[in-house]
Amino acid sequence: MYIYADNAATTRMSDTAMRVMTESMKDVYGNPSSLHSIGQQASEKLLAARMEVAECLGADFKEIYFTSGGSEADNQAIVSAAALGALKGKRHIISTKIEHHAVLHTLDKLSEKGFEITLLEVGKDGIVDPRSVEKAIREDTAFVTVMYANNEIGTLQPIKEIGQICREEGVIFHTDAVQAVGHVDINVMDENIDMLSLSAHKFHGPKGIGVLYANKKIPLTNLIEGGAQERGKRAGTENLPAIMGMTAALKESIQNMGETAKKVSALRDRLIMGLSKISHSVLNGDRQKRLPGNVNFCFEGIEGESLLLLLDSKGIAASSGSACTSGSLDPSHVLLAIGRPHEVAHGSLRLTLCGENTEKEVDYIIEEVTKVVEYLRGMSPVWDALEKGEMEHVI
Ligand SMILES: *Cc1c(COP(=O)(O)O)cnc(C)c1O
């Protein structure tokens, strides 16, 4: 048995998306910019995809820009909103401490260029207080960027409220909705969202394709210069097979959203129940306001990395909330932001489920995680010290 429980990292492509992509590669191989009929066929498919994506988000098709994924969409949204602000002498940006690195690192670059960045704190539940956004807005605030759902702890943010505040204050509002699109209901009009990033491979679509939605009133800054594709804002021959695969996956996940969310959140709750029984463990992120498939725990006296490797040997693909996996020993900025001490943040485990997981798999995960945690604690000098009372338990 091999159980894939790392759907926040990426998902398996749906059969529909694969079929649509294969057909597109075989049949619609023209360049949408070509004037001949083969090209025009591709151009029609491209427009159809753009209109369908727009409809899924409650946007206009002229507000949809295809990008290479979530990272590019985040970069372009932020760089564009900053440039627009700078034109009006506004060089202050508001975001949060728990954003994805595609947002945080882009903001770091802007800070080097003289922008002032306010990174808001989140509560212990991992949620941003809309009032803190309101308080942080100044005369010179160019824009606000707050993620829709966190990729580590799954918390859903009060996006509609934040959007409302930004609207009233006349400040542009961007949201990195990469973890949320296809999993929860989103409508950019209803939620006062000016810009939104999404990525296909987080909802069973192909990798390397995403969307930046940008309200008509926001002129974008190009990251890639060249041809006039994407209304002149993103050069390069369109990746039509991926665009069509993404569109199919998006429609499919929205169509099945209610049913999938019900099934997946029941599995999530079963997993949370099971893992809560492990002593000195704690769930990270709000219990209710979280993505249907997200489970994230800290276990005291454990190294996240050893836990992952042992689980992999038991046939479970999971992830650690910490950046250890990318070779750095820094604990996760998200876990630190919700107040977990360094040593606890190191012992984190993220399990992210999808509609393909089963109750049987969840029960196996609970059994194996419980065993592996016990085994690792048995070898841990830290756990020994905690047990002997030489150190105090923090969870
Ligand atoms: C995955 C992810 C991204 C990056 O998307 P890519 O398509 O992999 O570039 C950005 N933000 C969040 C919240 C993500 O989960």
> Which pLDDT does position 322 carry in this prediction?
55
* Cβ(133) – ligand 1 distance below 6 Å: no
Pocket lining: 100 vs ligand 1, CB cutoff 6 Å: yes
pLDDT at 331: 87
3-state DSSP assignment of residue 157: coil
CA distance 315 to 214: 42
Polymer length of the chain: 395
Q: Which of 56, 166, 298, 324 is catalytic?
A: 324
State residue 328's pLDDT score.
59
Q: What integer pLDDT is reported at residue 325 of this predicted model?
A: 46
CB-ligand 1 contact for 157 (6 Å cutoff):
no
pLDDT digits (tens, 9 = 90+) for 192-239: 999 999 999 999 999 999 999 999 999 999 999 999 999 999 999 999
Please tell me if the CB atom of residue 127 comes closer than 6 angstroms to any atom of ligand 1.
Answer: no
User: Ligand 1 in contact with 70 (CB < 6 A)?
Assistant: yes
Amino acid making up residue 390: E
Task: Tell me if residue 324 is catalytic.
Answer: yes
Question: CA-to-CA distance for 257 and 263, rounded, in angstroms?
Answer: 10
Q: Measured from the CA of 177, which atom of ligand 1 is nearest? A: 13
> Atom 14 in ligand 1: which residue has the minimum CA distance?
178
Pocket mutation for ligand 1, best pick of 178, 211, 243, 326 (most atoms within 8 Å of C-beta): 178
Q: At what angle do helices 240-255 and 257-276 cross, to 10 degrees?
A: 80
**How far is the C-alpha of 306 from the C-alpha of 383, rounded, in Å?**
15
Beta strands, E only, 102-247:
116-120, 141-145, 172-176, 195-199, 210-214
Residues of the chain with pLDDT under 70: 321-329
Cβ of 345 less than 6 Å from ligand 1: no
Asked if 146 and 159 count as a contact pair (C-beta separation under 8 A), the reply is yes
The reported pLDDT for the residue numbered 320 is 87
Please, are residues 210 and 189 in contact by the beta-carbon 8 Å criterion?
no
- DSSP 8-state symbol, 91: -
Query: What is the tens place of the pLDDT at every residue in 80-107?
Result: 999 999 999 999 999 999 999 999 999 9
32: three-class secondary structure by DSSP: coil
Tell me which residue of 75, 45, 29 sits closest to 247, measured CA to CA. Answer: 45
CA of 310 to the centre of ligand 1 (A): 26
Q: What is the maximum span of the chain, computed from C-alpha positions, in angstroms?
A: 78
Closest by CA position to 320, among listed 339, 338, 303: 303
